[in-house]
Amino acid sequence: MSLASRVAVVYGTRPEIIKLAPVITELGDDALVIDSGQHYDHELSGQYREVFGIGEPDIRVDGVGGKSRGEQISRMLGELTAVFEERRPGAVLVQGDTNTVSAAAQAANYLGIPIGHVEAGLRSYDRAMPEEINRLLAGALSDVHFAPTRRSAVNLINEGVDRERVMVTGNTIVEATHRAARRSAAPVASWFPRGILPPAFAIATIHRPENTDSAPALARVLRGLHGLSMPVLFFVHPRTRAAIERFGLERETNGLILHPSPASTDFLHVLSAAAVAVSDSGGVQEEATVLKVPVAVVRNSTERPEAVEAGWATLIRPGVDIAAAVEHFLRSERPDPSLPTPYGDGQASVRIAAVARMLASGRAPAEAITLAARHSSTPGTSVELDATP
């Protein structure tokens, strides 16, 4: 593939790195990898590039991390526009619902460069979530929509997206999770005091603004974790760590087993052994579902209802007693672990890379999907329903 027809793959956060790594690997030398700089420390990005073996990006934008949402998007939009003008990729791939997605999709669209949106069509229908706005914007600007599930594809079609530009690929989290889980990791017992593994334990990750931007909200979560009937490994996101210190809630963490955010291999290894995960992370909802571990989602809404419908997740909204809700969830019946995950067969990155190459070579969106599917041993799925299921 010529330089002019390379596929620019833009990421800026840990979840984007994890979910785009299989696509970057699949594209090989056809990928022009760009780090927007949205998350800027090694704990949140460098270790994940190492884990998935994708190395350093070809281009990194500086001066973005730690800024407000408007400042981040503004700076990334300007910098990515300059990069796209200079390098002129044949197509741009973005993933998910971050500020990086908003900026990269706008920059590519304004320059007439076709956009492929990985993990398209997720909807929480909660416009108070910044992520929902980013998803809607990406949906309006993208040329090809890589929907991870049939439900997300139907969401797009119901919003007026041409069904010929939508491809159900599965979610790259399946291959990313299994790839990371295969790597060697520290023994689960090593995360506990004196290296003694309890009979059952919970994992907690909390970072979203609705849980960390006010003292009452964060205190509710910390007290809820205290109320669980098992030890809690609390992997503390830097945003959450700063909020605990800002609100003077250090005493509320007493009794919890605190660790910094671990490498993906270590996290997934521990997650696979947990009795339950308590999290507000979209990625953890998916990873837990792939690994068949119950996950309690501490949020007002979720854009991943498939995990709830499959029986592996439950939504705990504000005002609900977290400990009581988790205990009730654990007493409920789990689905058969042998049933397949709702997130696909682990071939999503193959499908996405094939279409991205076609798009970058100048094919129209619908033609790119058709030709890639025709030449693939694992074609994506079309959507035949007009009504939301």
Q: Which of 244, 209, 239 is nearest to 225 (CA)?
A: 244
In angstroms, the CA 153 to CA 168 distance is 7
Asked if 23 contacts 93 with a C-beta cutoff of 8 angstroms, the reply is yes
Contact 329, 294 (CB under 8 A): yes
What is the reported pLDDT for 389?
37
Q: Answer whether residue 91 shows pLDDT above 90.
A: yes
Please write the tens of the pLDDT for every residue from 293-339. Answer: 999 999 999 888 999 998 999 999 999 999 999 999 999 988 888 88
Residue 239, exposed/middle/buried by CB under 10 A (0-12, 13-18, 19+)?
middle
Q: pLDDT band at 383, cuts 50/70/90?
A: low
Structure tokens given for 139: 């949906």
CB-based contact 32:58 (threshold 8 Å): yes
What pLDDT is attached to residue 347?
A: 94
Is 293 in contact with 271 (CB distance < 8 Å)?
A: yes
Catalytic residues: 207
Instruction: Check pLDDT > 80 for residue 286.
Output: yes
Q: What is the mean pLDDT of residues 203-207?
A: 97
Whether residue 129 is predicted with pLDDT greater than 50 in this model: the reply is: yes
pTM higher than 0.85 for the full model?
A: no
Q: Which CATH number fits domain 3-172+346-374: 3.90.1150.10, 3.50.50.60, 3.40.50.150, 3.40.50.2000?
A: 3.40.50.2000
Establish whether domains 3-172+346-374 and 187-331 are of one fold: yes
Q: Distance (Å, rounded) from C-alpha 170 to C-alpha 304?
A: 13
Question: Which pLDDT belongs to residue 386?
Answer: 38
3-state SS of the chain? CCHHHCEEEEECCHHHHHHHHHHHHHHHHHEEEEECCCCCCHHHHHHHHHHHCCCCCCEECCCCCCCCHHHHHHHHHHHHHHHHHHHCCCEEEEECCCHHHHHHHHHHHHCCCCEEEECCCCCCCCCCCHHHHHHHHHHHHCCEEEECCHHHHHHHHHCCCCHHHEEECCCCHHHHHHHHHCCCCCCHHHHCHHHCCCCCCEEEECCCHHHHCCHHHHHHHHHHHHCCCCCEEEEECHHHHHHHHHCCCHHHHCCCEEEECCCHHHHHHHHHHCCEEEECCHHHHHHHHHHCCCEEEECCCCCCHHHHHCCCEEEECCCCCHHHHHHHHHHCCCCCCCCCCCCCCCCHHHHHHHHHHHHHCCCCHHHHHHHHHHCCCCCCECCCCCCCC
Note whether 94 and 138 are within 8 A (CB).
yes
Average pLDDT over residues 216-239: 96
Bigger pLDDT: 37 vs 45: 37
* Domain 187-331 -> CATH class: alpha beta
pLDDT (tens digit per residue) in 137-156: 999 999 999 999 999 999 99
Are 52 and 176 in contact by the 8 Å Cβ rule? The answer is: yes
Q: Domain limits of the chain? A: 3-172+346-374, 187-331
pLDDT, averaged across the chain: 91
On whether the CB atoms of residues 168 and 133 are closer than 8 A, the answer is no
Query: In the structure, what pLDDT confidence band is assigned to residue 104 with cuts at 50, 70 and 90?
Result: very high
Residue 388: its pLDDT value, please? 38
